Every structure is written in structure tokens, then in C-alpha cells.
Amino acid sequence: MSTSKIDILSINEAKLEFTIDDSELYLPGFEIIRKDRKINGRNGGGLCFYLRSNLNYKTREDLIAENLEWLTLEITRPRSRPFLVVTWYRPPDSPVSLFNEFEELVDKVDAGNWEFFLLRDINVDLMVETISAIAGKLKHIFDIYGLDQLITEPTRITLSSRSLIDLCITNTPTKVAKFGVVHLAISDHALIYMTCKVQHERAGTIIIKTRQMKNFHKVSFLSDLQLKAWSDVETLKDPNDMWSMWKEMLMQATVDKHAPLKTKRAGKRSLHGLLIICAVKCIEEIS
């Protein structure tokens, strides 16, 4: 995490409980948001996000369901429309009826006209040819609300099986620049990721300065460089004075002559960036 470009990391089956303090899980440059399991008194489970500290967020307590291990963050960027990042863990023995609560949450997101990105282990294999009742229910919800599931390759591979049970789901696939699967050794599940395009409008007049290269002539430029008394720089003792003389000789007398600055005005423009969201299942117990 310290060397990656990941902005948001979602972890399922974090297996955390109240005796473990956030300080024990600290990663420099990230905040942790947790939802420890409290469902049916079972052990394990639980969710958490690691979120870069420079991202503005709030937890959406109104977008949760009593029987779902579900955590929603609202991400806000300057002069940009907020969007939702969701993680959900569905245990493999859960009934089909659990998808009714999932559909209710999706309906709230749809009614609010939110852009949202959901990543996680839903334990529904979408690679099998024969569609199960659970997979059929999930795909039905996708169809009703116009959701796209982006991952198409196996996310859990064992000696005897290959299954696609870790999903990237969104209602705005045009905002996803890239997505995929990365097989790691820390879990029996692969890491899934999506890179989201974000933008905001900068209002007002913008002054843009560019070098005018239309009449640039390489031979003349190099010839003028050779005529400069570069040795004069070495007569100075202060490095700052040396830098100032060198820069003036290069820029004002040479670069500005052959590639002069051109100033133009422009209206508001869109500024684009990328936000990388990943999800992984926690490490399995090691004997």
C-alpha cells in the first residue's frame, strides 16, 4: 500500500472485533473505516476500507441494511459531483431472499441518481453455464437498474475449481477507465480493481502560456547556444548566482528568441484524474 497507487482498498472478511484498536491497523497516509461483524453472532466476517487521507468522505448510514454486511462511503472531490463506493460481503450459505435487501439499497441509490461503484465477494459464481436461482436473481437486479458487472475472469482458483465470485458492479461504466484481476499470494481470492475517471469544472477565464514552435529552427538554436559565454558562469562563487546567470543565458537570450511564449485565454475546462479502487479478501488462517 505504501508504494502503490491505490486510493481506496476494500477488505472483506477482515475478522476484526472490538478488542482490536484502529491504531493497530494504521497505514501511513490512509484512514481506516470499519464495520465489524455483528450478524447472527458468527465469528469472522467484517468489512473495512483503507482510504487515502487526502480524500473527503463520509459514511452513509442511511444506505445500509440490517442483514447485509455492507458499507457505503460517499466520496467528495473539489467542484465535482459526489459518488458512492460500496463494499459487500455475502456469506456462501445466505438465502436468495438476502438479495431483496440488496435490491432495496440499489433502489435508494437509483432514486438518488448516485454514481456508485461496488466491489466485493458476493459468493455467486457467474462463470457457470447453468444459472442458479441466486445468480438469476442477481442478474435480474442488474437488468432492472442498468448495472454492469465488469469482471469476466476467475477470481478464485483452486486445484479443483475456477470461479468468478468477486465482482465490480457500477451504474456508470463509462467512468471506469480500467479494471481487472490481480492474483496475490495473501488470499485464496484475487484482488479486483477498477480505475475510475474523475473530473471537475474550473470556472472563469484561464490564461494559458505555451511555447510557439512554428518558426523554430534547430540548427539556428544550436548555433546560438554555442556562441554563449558559458564559462562566465564558473567565475561566480554563489550557486544561486550561477544558476540565475545560466538560466538567463539559456532562456532569455536563446529559448525565448527561437520559441517565444504565446499567451491565450480559454474558458472553463474539465480537469481529469484517476481514482484507483481495489478489493481483496483477507488472508486465510495459516496453521
What is 92-138 written as a DSSP string?
TT--TTHHHHHHHHHHHHHHTT--EEEEEE----SS-SS--HHHHHH
Assess whether pLDDT exceeds 60 at residue 200.
Answer: no
Residue 34: exposure state from Cβ atoms within 10 A (0-12, 13-18, ≥19): middle
Length of the chain: 287
Of 124, 116, 61, the closest CA to residue 83 belongs to 116
Q: Are 34 and 22 in contact (CB under 8 A)?
A: yes
Residue-level pLDDT at 282: 67
Instruction: Report residue 79 as a C-alpha cell.
Output: 467542484
Check residue 254 and report its DSSP letter: I
Range of lowest pLDDT (128-142, 155-169, 204-218): 204-218
Question: pLDDT confidence of 264, banded at 50, 70, 90?
Answer: low
Q: Which domains does the chain have, with CATH numbers?
A: 8-200+270-281 (3.60.10.10), 206-266 (no CATH)
Residue 286's pLDDT is: 37
Statement: residue 262 has pLDDT above 80: no
**What does the pLDDT average to over 35-63?**
85
Residue-averaged pLDDT of the chain: 84
**pLDDT tens digit string along 18-32?**
888 898 998 888 999
Name which of 84, 95, 40, 38 is nearest 62 in CA terms. Answer: 84
- Region 148-160: mean pLDDT is 91
Residue 43: its pLDDT value, please? 62
Higher pLDDT, 197 or 213: 197
**To which H or E segment does residue 176 belong?**
strand 176-182
Which grid cell sits at 264? 491565450
**120 or 115: which carries more pLDDT confidence?**
115
Contact between 261 and 212 under an 8 Å Cβ cutoff? The reply is yes
- What's the average model confidence in pLDDT over 100-108? 94
